[in-house]
Amino acid sequence: MRIQPAQAARRAGWALGQAAYLLGFWGESTACNLARGARRVWNGAAARGRAFSARFLHPVWEGLVGVGRDLAAPFVRFAHGMRSIHAYVQEEKQARGTPRALAGGLLYFHRGVRLYGYLAVRAGRYIMPLLALGLFVFTVRHTLNRSFSLAVEVNGELVGYVQSEDVLEAAKNTLQQNIVSLDRSSQWQITADYTLAVDPEELLDQETLARTLLEMSHSEIQPGAAVYVDGELVLVSDDASGLRQALEALKTTAADAAGEGSEAEFIRDVELQEGIYFTSDISDETAVQEALSNTDLFGLRTVRRAVEIREIPYETVTTRSEDYRWGSVQTVQAGQAGSAQVTVDYITENGVTTEEIVESVTLTEPVTEQIVIGSRMPAGSLVEVPGYGTLLWPVPNYKYVSRWMSAGHTGADICANAGQDILAAADGRVITAGWHYSYGNYIIIDHGNGLRTLYAHCSKLYVSYGQYVSQGDVIGAVGNTGNSFGNHCHFELYVGGVRVSARNYFPNM
């Protein structure tokens, strides 16, 4: 069957109306149930509150009210009684006079005390615990605000106040650790007594207490200083500051004596050791002064620093050249000294002064001197000796030969200025170097295979017996020693062990 639109709309409206009705009915029902539940909860809580109040709060309240009534009763009764007494006294005063009125008032007051005194006792049962509690609180607070300490006494004398015994023990340990005992058997002990003190004026700390104990023990121990020299004890003084100043004064005096800019120091290891010493170990003043006046005990070194301009010596370089005759000296460059700024320390120990260069700054460089010594031999100076090698003329820088070997003369007299070089004629060994009554200072060289040479009348000998020389070595200097009448070298030649004339080999000399 086909449903018409209008019919469908009516059905839908009816359905919505039913839904709205059911929703409203459910909401109303739920609200009612909630209200009834809340009322039951409230009624139950109120009932329990009334029960709790009746069981607990009400007795407490009644107790408080009773306490208040008991506390107030004496005062209420006292006030009522005083009003009654006042009225009574006023009536009696008008009727019977003031004295009788006062006597009656006192009698009236006495009867009131007898009748109602129990009320004060009842109130006192509450008041007395409160007063006791207040007194206890007051006592505790007052006691806690007080400070307590220990009064320290040594030998019946008050030393001071400390917080605890640990302060005294720490002070004693501090002193013990600083005591220097020269006699290992010496010991320092101190015994203290303690008493309790309230609100002391001042508490001593460890350091202050240690100083106080030291002052009180002056007869046994006292602060001082010892002087050790190279680890050995010299003296002990009770004036550490004065001793230090005295040692410094020794150095100051020595420095002043050495001159301006000088400093002084001890040569030996001088050590000042401060500490606490037994009074019996302290040196007397005389011993201290004697030790300090002995400067040798410490050894003093003074150092004076100066800045000076010093000369730098020049060097001399010598060379040989055949451009010049043998022995001649030619200065090809003159030497010139330089200059330097030198910082030098003059060190004086035990009266001996040495110097030590600290710094040297060159201002001008020195100029080296260059000297050329002639090495050119005269013509014919080197000749061949058959079977023996070459032979060298012994005096290159000679003047002339005054005479040769002859029947009455054993050699050639080679004249030259005193000090001119005498050369070894050939390689060989010196077999004689010494003095002869006729030859004077003379030398004999053995060249081997019977070849020997002799050089006499030398002013100086530069070789010694047994020495090996080479051809051309300078062995002596021309002179006039022995049986001689002028500076010359007497030269003898032995070939094959036989003396021969040097002229045979040097005919052009």
Beta carbons within 10 angstroms of residue 51's beta carbon = 10
Structure confidence at residue 452 (pLDDT): 97
CATH class of 380-504: mainly beta
Q: Are 221 and 313 in contact (CB under 8 A)?
A: no
Structure confidence at residue 4 (pLDDT): 56
Same fold, 307-373 and 380-504: no
CA dist 382 and 389 (Å) reads 10
Distances (CA, A) of 77 to 66, 81, 140, 238: 16, 6, 37, 86
Q: Are 482 and 476 in contact (CB under 8 A)?
A: no
Backbone angles phi, psi at 157, to 5 degrees: -105, 130
Q: Which residue has the tokens 């040196």?
A: 283
**pLDDT tens digits in sequence order for the chain, 509 residues long:** 455 555 655 666 666 666 666 666 666 667 666 777 777 778 777 777 777 666 666 676 776 666 666 666 666 666 666 777 677 667 777 777 777 767 776 776 777 667 666 656 665 666 777 677 777 666 656 555 566 778 788 777 777 787 787 887 887 788 777 778 776 666 777 777 777 777 666 777 878 877 877 777 777 788 888 888 888 888 888 888 888 898 888 888 888 888 888 888 888 888 888 888 888 888 888 878 887 787 788 888 888 888 999 999 999 998 988 888 877 788 989 999 999 999 998 888 877 889 899 899 999 999 999 999 887 888 888 999 988 899 999 999 899 999 999 988 999 999 999 999 999 999 999 999 999 999 999 999 999 999 999 999 999 999 999 999 999 999 999 999 999 999 999 999 999 999 999 999 999 88
Beta carbons within 10 angstroms of residue 283's beta carbon = 20
List CB contacts of 250: < 8 A, sequence separation 6 or more: 264, 292, 295, 298, 300
Structure confidence at residue 427 (pLDDT): 96
Q: Which residue has the tokens 């309230």?
A: 198
Q: Is the whole-model pTM more than 0.75?
A: no
CA dist 179 and 186 (Å) reads 10
Q: What is the DSSP code (8-state) at residue 409?
A: B
DSSP notation for 93-131: HHHH-HHHHHHHHHHHHHHHHHHHHHHHHHHHHHHHHHH
Structure confidence at residue 363 (pLDDT): 93
Q: Domain-by-domain residue ranges, the chain?
A: 1-145, 150-217, 227-274+282-298, 307-373, 380-504
Structure confidence at residue 504 (pLDDT): 94
307-373 classified as CATH 2.20.230.10: yes
Structure confidence at residue 1 (pLDDT): 46
Q: Are 144 and 199 in contact (CB under 8 A)?
A: no
